[in-house]
Structure 1
Amino acid sequence: MKQENIGFGGNWSAEWNSVLSTELNLYYSQYNVYAIDYKLETNQQLNQENEVIDTGLKLKSTYILNDHLKLLNGYQFTEVGILNGTEVSKPEFSRTKKDVLLNHAIFNEVEYHDSSLFIRAGIRSNYFQKFEKFLVEPRLNVRYKWSNGFAMKLQGEFKNQSATQIIDFQYDFLGVENRRWTLANEESIPISESKQVSFGVSYNKNDFIIDIEGFYKVVDGITVPNQGFYNNFQFINAIGEYNVKGVELLINKSTNKYGAWLSYTYSINNYKFRTLTPSVFPNNLDIRHSVSLAFNYDIFESLGVSIGGIWRSGQPYTKTIEGNEMVQDGNNTYVNFDSPNSENINDFMRLDASINYNINFKNSKLSAKFGVLNLFDRENDINKYYEVNPNDFNTIIENNNKSLGFTPNLSLRIGF
């Protein structure tokens, strides 16, 4: 198996006068994954390829009206091409498909700021040439500072995505990667559209920060094959949406010698597929509670230590129906799943630690870092699913994916 990533870009900018400037960006990126799998017992060779090429340009102009107000306008062009290929020697089978999608976008923004208020409002108009489809996306970012370190913020935006990853259960890349990039076709795979809004209040004074924010997001145009279900919907093609809502809290205190962080997130994340039963059920990533802690301390100017931990509730999985774990359909055996994502794996907990040492030379600097991931070697489940035993079709097997255990690492960096 071989994976490759190639990318490069260029930038040109000009200031025509004190109020008008222009910037041009060009880029090219290419991603390839190629695998050959040879099965000696059947004398069968399987070749697979997935290639993504993304090219584009962005032209942006900024016009300053006065000390508080400026306008931003521009044009962006993107071309995305995705190739998927599969070739089997016995029995002979070959399939190669390449899709290309062009997108033209015009964007306009106005920005206002003074000592207490910042507002950026804009709109982006997209035209997908292949489908003759327009998408209009408004965006808003507002921040208002009160006295004594208090501030309010409001953000909202619409966005789209034309490339998605499909989970291929039949042909994976040597069992390592079964996600294939593919383009929207506006039939079985629509362009996904997201809408999100957030509102929050923060306090920032004397190097002490408290930030609390509520958020809501809905993404329409997702498909069952790109979610990676291990339940009764695994081989069904349906189009739906998911929505997530919640609140985030961040507390941070820092000084010249130390810094400490605490963050907490509460969220509810659900799918909605109108053609499935049930139509609403928990998202694969529905993690209700998540807490992160971090602390760093500089013992000396050249020596520092850090420690951090994370705890989160377990993500959902679909269990089997107890006492009736399998169903027979002719010569085929299937797992008999219960309601989708109705159970949760055990909570996740991990503690990490590291020590940093810096040495300054006359014309260079050496930085050494030794760290330990999962300091107490806690065994954490990160996924659980069931499947028919490929060696015995009369039984099913339970798969439990684990996170990394006790993992030391060492890094050295030299700067000139």
Structure 2
Amino acid sequence: MKQVITIFICIWSLSISVVKAQSIEVDYLSKPLNEILVEWREQYNLQFSFNDALLANYKISIKQSFKSTDEALKTILKGLPLDFEKNDEVYIIFPLKKEKKPKHYTLVGKIIEKGSGEPLPFSHIMANGQQSVTDIKGVFSFNFSDDSVYQIKASHLGCYILDTTLVAGNGHTLVLNPSAVGIKEVVVTNNIVEKATQIGEESGLTSLNHHIANYLPGNGDNSVFNLLRLQPGILAAGEQPNDLIIWGGPEGTSRVTFDGFTIWGLKNFNDNISAVNPYMAKNIEVHKGGYGASNDDVVGGIVRITGKNGSTIKPGVNLFLNNQTLNGMVELPMNKKSSLMLAFRQTYYNLFGSEDIEYPNNMMIGSDNITETPAYDFRDFNVKYSLQGDNGDLFYMSMLYGADNFELDVDRQFKRENKQGQEVDTNVNHEQEEDNKQIGSTVFYGKTWSNGHSSSLKASYSALKSNYSLRREDSSARRNVNLVKRDDNAQNDVSEVSVNWENNLLAGEKQTITVGLEWINNDLVLTEDSFGIEYINLSERANRLALYVQDRFRINQRLSLTAGLRYNHSFFVNKVYFDPRLSLSFRASGNIKLNASWGRYHQFVVKSSIDDEDGNYLYTWTLADNDEVPVLSSTHYVLGGAYTRQKFLFSIDTYFKENDGLTRFIRYRQNDFIFYGDSRSYGVDLYAKQDFKGHSIWASYSLGKTEEHFSYFEEDGYRRSSQDQRHEVKVAGLFNIGSFHLSASYIYGSGFPFFKSFQDYVNQRYTEPNYNRLDASLVYRLSSQKFSGEVGISVLNVTDVYNIKYNQFSRIPKDQTNSVFINSEAVPFTPLLYLKLSF
């Protein structure tokens, strides 16, 4: 019986399998799908579950044979929004679920300053956890999915933080209230400045603006550079007047730009006047190293100064007067969208007297009677027209003209022995003059598109024309003859024309791609003659094309990556250079952020040093031709981090930089020798800032080392560079006491190696005088219905410490082995009374 049952089950299973595997013949013409399945159910003994009304909407036309039910169903349902699955013996037909496409929203707006309507570039804005920075137009843009309402937090250095809510769309305008406003509006319970974005957002980046500089000592004509010199990593000791040394970079490797054109640097023997008018400056970005691919082609640091656009609300007159210069600015609204700004500065008497030219006794031998007659004058002029669109577009034209002239006449009387051993009265007359003219202009148009993308087109021109002369004459009372020992003249002109086209593209919520194309032309003129005989006459022109791509990608809420590549084709040397750059930012917590960056950099317009037989240093701009002057190259490694909490900021930056392709000309007995070298810099910057009850104190410490190696070194090793300084400490404080504002700053530097001669440099024999300077300021704010202003006094170098300028001295030979050092002293005790008015 058991065997019979087993045989019966096998036969039944086989019959079922045969039924399942039986072929299906179909031949339909526009037959509803529901009727086809009913027919299959009756004809092939199949079971179906479906929505009869839904399937009746689909007409099937087909004639085909299938080996199985599954194959037949797959074919018939192909192309229809239907699918099937088998549950036991039942075929379930169901509609496909339509994948809901995420809705994409764009948030576009601009940030402006209350009162002036000025766009605030490089402001930080956070929307629902996403962080961004406004562009030069003050415009921000975001892409979001499935979210059209955003919690916004906007901040700009020197302004109160704004918390608000926005909905998706274009044309939003956020207005930030500056902390430095009239007395009636001061809220002393809040911070003076928004400090969290000042340092630590990116590797080697420091953000500054005019709000911080308002009450610093020397805040009149030089507030921009007084503020810069108080930042970590920017050399303050030595008070170099026409260049910034950032992280130990050789002279000429860092670049300052204003409104997009290069500030090549006036000589500016008087450090109380900067090359940029403070009335025109709005925002400052300092990139000390490790910056991205969209930045200029230099191997040092970059200081990018953005100028004001002018008030579109009401006309204004600003006047600044102290006991050295007159500074004035006029703002003229042309209509509700455009403005014209005019600014002018002028020294109104000779700023130098004999007492300002000194020489330390330990740098000369014997007693000489020396008479110095210096002369210095300075002037500059700015004009800027800007037009702001409702949608965030910005057009402006900005122009600068500046000029200064320095003259030094030194008479030295002394006795020397002639061949017969007799003392002879001798007079040496030293006449030195340098005349410089700085020109710059930019035309800029930036547009923000409705989808959040932005484009800009910028054309810039800048030039520096410099003339230098030196005449030295010996006269003997006994012989009654004049002997000309030096009669040198030099001209060094450098100019740059550039056209830049840049696009910032939003590629989803987490990605922004920057693509740019730039054409650069540089012209150079260098002529030198001695006693009327010309031995250098150089006129060169170089063109290059730069293309850069940069991708900012937010990997998650904590980690973001920026990768870029800059391509340079130098037609002058007929060579292509690729510079990859990479940076990472990691927010370890709400208060701690860590940064790292690496990059390759090249520089095509370089400053070469010239050492003469007297041991004097000169620097001339040259074009790198990879023949006599190589293209500078550098690699940057930067690690940093920042810790922020309410009213407190601490940051650290460590760096290592290598520079290759340095050029040095040694001029000895009318012969020139060219040597090539490299340098390396490494160190750490520490910075801390505390705000309390409307006051602010910050301090920084820089530890660094800069070494160089040239082919003429007798030993194959690195030596201290002339700009090498081991330690620098800076402390500054701003205090509000009712209508009074007190401030003070102190800088200590451990000093540079000071070589008395070129031979001492070769043998590394040097002195190392340190640097000390204490500045203080007291300001009383004026306020009425018709005007606002300030009355104040700034005292520079309160303790009248004698400091030496970096590379700002002349050596006058006394005899074959000794020299007299004439040093244009760094800022001495200088009280500055000033009046500042705004109407």
Fold match (TM-score > 0.5): yes
CA contact (8 A) 2:813 2:820 kept: no
Residue of structure 1 in register with 2:750 after alignment: 313
Which structure is higher in strand share?
Answer: 1
CA distance in 2, matches of 1:154, 1:381: 36
Shift of 1:336: 5.0
Shift of 1:42: 6.4
Q: Per-residue displacement from partner, 1:99-148 (whole Å, max 9, x unpaired)?
A: 11111111000112464333322110111012111111122232221224
Residue of structure 2 in register with 1:98 after alignment: 539
Alpha carbons of structure 1 residues 289 and 361: separation in structure 2 relative to 1, 3 Å: same
Residue 244 in structure 1 maps to residue 681 in structure 2: yes
* Structure 2: 5+ residue stretches without partners: 1-433, 474-481
Shift of 1:262: 1.1
CA distance in 2, matches of 1:170, 1:277: 19
CA distance in 2, matches of 1:108, 1:261: 37
CA distance in 1, matches of 2:459, 2:493: 20
Residue 378 in structure 1 maps to residue 801 in structure 2: yes
CA distance in 1, matches of 2:547, 2:808: 45
Residue of structure 2 in register with 1:219 after alignment: 659
Identify which of structures 1 and 2 has the higher relative contact order when contacts are C-alpha pairs closer than 8 Å and 6+ apart: 2
Residue of structure 1 in register with 2:551 after alignment: 110
CA distance in 2, matches of 1:410, 1:99: 47
Letter in 1 for 2:729: V
Residue of structure 2 in register with 1:3 after alignment: 436
CA distance in 2, matches of 1:37, 1:344: 27
Residue of structure 1 in register with 2:579 after alignment: 137
Which structure is higher in helix share?
Answer: 2
CA distance in 2, matches of 1:97, 1:148: 57
Residue 75 in structure 1 maps to residue 512 in structure 2: no
Shift of 1:337: 3.1
CA distance in 2, matches of 1:354, 1:258: 15
Alpha carbons of structure 1 residues 412 and 341: separation in structure 2 relative to 1, 3 Å: farther
CA distance in 2, matches of 1:84, 1:223: 16
CA distance in 2, matches of 1:181, 1:171: 21
CA distance in 1, matches of 2:810, 2:440: 39
CA distance in 2, matches of 1:403, 1:387: 14
CA contact (8 A) 2:519 2:543 kept: yes
Shift of 1:87: 4.7
Q: Per-residue displacement from partner, 1:225-284 (whole Å, max 9, x unpaired)?
A: 3xxx899xx964211111011111111101342111111111121112355222311111
Letter in 1 for 2:448: E
CA contact (8 A) 1:386 1:398 kept: no
Residue of structure 1 in register with 2:736 after alignment: 298
Alpha carbons of structure 1 residues 344 and 38: separation in structure 2 relative to 1, 3 Å: closer
Aligned pairs, how many?
A: 392
C-alpha root-mean-square deviation of aligned residues, in Å?
3.3
Q: TM-score, length-normalised on structure 2?
A: 0.43
Shift of 1:157: 2.3
Residue of structure 2 in register with 1:154 after alignment: 596
CA distance in 1, matches of 2:759, 2:815: 16
Residue of structure 1 in register with 2:624 after alignment: 184
CA distance in 2, matches of 1:219, 1:166: 14
Shift of 1:313: 0.9
Shift of 1:367: 2.9
CA distance in 2, matches of 1:262, 1:254: 12
Residue of structure 2 in register with 1:329 after alignment: none
Residue 128 in structure 1 maps to residue 594 in structure 2: no
Give the 3-state SS of the residue equivalent to 1:130 in structure 2: coil
Residue of structure 2 in register with 1:324 after alignment: none
CA distance in 1, matches of 2:548, 2:765: 43
Residue 396 in structure 1 maps to residue 818 in structure 2: yes
Residue of structure 2 in register with 1:332 after alignment: none
Alpha carbons of structure 1 residues 236 and 10: separation in structure 2 relative to 1, 3 Å: same
Alpha carbons of structure 1 residues 295 and 318: separation in structure 2 relative to 1, 3 Å: same
CA distance in 2, matches of 1:198, 1:73: 24
CA contact (8 A) 2:812 2:821 kept: no
Residue of structure 2 in register with 1:52 after alignment: 494
CA distance in 1, matches of 2:571, 2:807: 42
Counterpart among 242, 245, 259 of residue 696 in structure 2:
259
Q: TM-score, length-normalised on structure 1?
A: 0.84
Letter in 2 for 1:346: P
Letter in 1 for 2:622: T
CA contact (8 A) 1:352 1:371 kept: yes
* Percent identical residues: 20
Q: Per-residue displacement from partner, 1:186-217 (whole Å, max 9, x unpaired)?
A: 12210101111111222100111111221101
Letter in 2 for 1:5: Q
Shift of 1:388: 8.4
CA distance in 1, matches of 2:532, 2:613: 15
- Bigger shift: 45-54 or 32-41? 32-41
Alpha carbons of structure 1 residues 221 and 210: separation in structure 2 relative to 1, 3 Å: same
CA contact (8 A) 2:810 2:822 kept: no
Residue of structure 1 in register with 2:709 after alignment: 272
Shift of 1:390: 3.3
Letter in 1 for 2:818: I
CA distance in 2, matches of 1:29, 1:386: 28
Counterpart among 624, 645, 655 of residue 205 in structure 1:
645
CA distance in 2, matches of 1:13, 1:155: 29
CA contact (8 A) 1:319 1:385 kept: no
Residue 357 in structure 1 maps to residue 780 in structure 2: yes
Shift of 1:299: 1.0
Shift of 1:39: 7.3
- Bigger shift: 146-155 or 302-311? 146-155
Counterpart among 700, 725, 730 of residue 287 in structure 1:
725
| Residue correspondence of structure 1 range 13-32 to structure 2 within 5 A | 13-32=446-465
Alpha carbons of structure 1 residues 313 and 134: separation in structure 2 relative to 1, 3 Å: same
Q: Per-residue displacement from partner, 1:284-337 (whole Å, max 9, x unpaired)?
A: 12211111111110111x3201111111112113467xxxxxxxxxxxxxx753
Alpha carbons of structure 1 residues 156 and 92: separation in structure 2 relative to 1, 3 Å: closer
Residue 84 in structure 1 maps to residue 507 in structure 2: no
Give the 3-state SS of the residue equivalent to 2:760 in structure 1: coil
Residue of structure 2 in register with 1:326 after alignment: none
Residue of structure 1 in register with 2:234 after alignment: none
Letter in 2 for 1:217: K
- Bigger shift: 304-313 or 406-415? 406-415
Alpha carbons of structure 1 residues 363 and 191: separation in structure 2 relative to 1, 3 Å: farther
Shift of 1:76: 0.8
CA distance in 1, matches of 2:686, 2:526: 43
Shift of 1:389: 6.0
CA distance in 2, matches of 1:308, 1:400: 28
- Bigger shift: 43-52 or 276-285? 43-52
- Bigger shift: 284-293 or 359-368? 359-368
Shift of 1:359: 1.7
CA contact (8 A) 2:667 2:673 kept: no
Indicate the structure (1 or 2) with the bigger Cα radius of gyration: 2
Alpha carbons of structure 1 residues 342 and 413: separation in structure 2 relative to 1, 3 Å: same
Shift of 1:392: 2.8
Residue of structure 1 in register with 2:86 after alignment: none
Letter in 2 for 1:14: K
